[in-house]
C-alpha cells in the first residue's frame, strides 16, 4: 500500500510540474565545455537564468543579452559569477515547448 501511495504521489508531481523534466544542454564556445539550463521558460533577453557549468562543476546566474533562433539556437549572456560575456549554442535549433 505504501508503494502505491509513493507512485501516485510521483505521478502527481510529474503531471502538475512537467517543467521539472526538462534540462537543456548547450555548448559554451568561450570555455569549450558544456552547460545545462533547467528553467527553459525564462530564455528571453533581459532575464536572469541559472545554469550548471560543467567546466567548474557549479551553478552560475547569467543575464540573457540575446537569443538568436536562426539555425542553431545561440544565447549571448553575461555571467554574474565570473564577470564574463559568454556564448552558448544549445543542442537543438528550437526551444522546447512551454507548458500551457
> Residue 13: pLDDT band by 50, 70, 90 thresholds?
very low
Residues 6+ apart with CB under 8 A from 81: 58, 60, 61
pLDDT over 50 (residue 6):
no
- How many CB atoms sit inside 10 A of residue 73's CB? 19
- Cell numbers linked to 37: 539550463
> Residue 83: pLDDT band by 50, 70, 90 thresholds?
very high
CA dihedral 73, 53, 34, 54 (to 10 degrees): -170
Q: Are 47 and 60 in contact (CB under 8 A)?
A: no
Query: pLDDT per residue over 15-64, tens digit each?
Result: 444 444 467 899 998 889 999 998 877 789 999 999 999 999 999 999 99
pTM of the entire structure?
0.68
> Residue 2: pLDDT band by 50, 70, 90 thresholds?
low
Amino acid at each position: 500500500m505504501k508503494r502505491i501511495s509513493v507512485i501516485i504521489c510521483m505521478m502527481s508531481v510529474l503531471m502538475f510540474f512537467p517543467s521539472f523534466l526538462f534540462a537543456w544542454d548547450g555548448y559554451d564556445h568561450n570555455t569549450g565545455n558544456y552547460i545545462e539550463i533547467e528553467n527553459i521558460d525564462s530564455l528571453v533577453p533581459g532575464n536572469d537564468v541559472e545554469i550548471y557549468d560543467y567546466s567548474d562543476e557549479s551553478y552560475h546566474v547569467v543575464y540573457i543579452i540575446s537569443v538568436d533562433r536562426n539555425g542553431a539556437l545561440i544565447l549571448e549572456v553575461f555571467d554574474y559569477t565570473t564577470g564574463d560575456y559568454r556564448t552558448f549554442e544549445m543542442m537543438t535549433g528550437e526551444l522546447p515547448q512551454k507548458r500551457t
